[in-house]
Amino acid sequence: MTMMRTSLFSHRTIRQGAISAVGSVKIKLLLACCIGLTLFVLAGRTASFMGWKQHAASLHRSSLPGKGYALLINTWKRNDLLKQSISHYASCPGLASIHIVWSEPDPPSESLLKVLNHIIQLNSKDGREIELKFDINKEDSLNNRFKEITDLKTDAVFSIDDDIIFPCTSVEFAFTVWQSAPDTMVGYVPRIHWVDKSKGNQDTYLYSGWWSVWRTGTYSMILSKAAFFHKKYLSMYTYEMPSSIREYVTKNRNCEDIAMSFLVANATGAPPIWVKGKIFEIGSTGISSLGGHSERRTHCVNWFAYEYGRMPLISTSVKAVDSHSSWFW
Catalytic residues: 257
Q: Are 159 and 227 in contact (CB under 8 A)?
A: yes
Alpha helices in the chain, H assignment, sequence order: 2-49, 54-63, 79-89, 110-123, 168-180, 210-216, 232-239, 243-252, 256-268, 293-308
Other CB atoms within 10 Å distance of the CB of residue 273: 23
Say which DSSP state 201 is in. S
Alpha helices in 50-181, H assignment, sequence order: 54-63, 79-89, 110-123, 168-180
Distance in angstroms between the alpha carbons of the first and the last residue of the chain: 66
> Which residue, 67, 68, 43, 71, is CA-closest to 55?
43
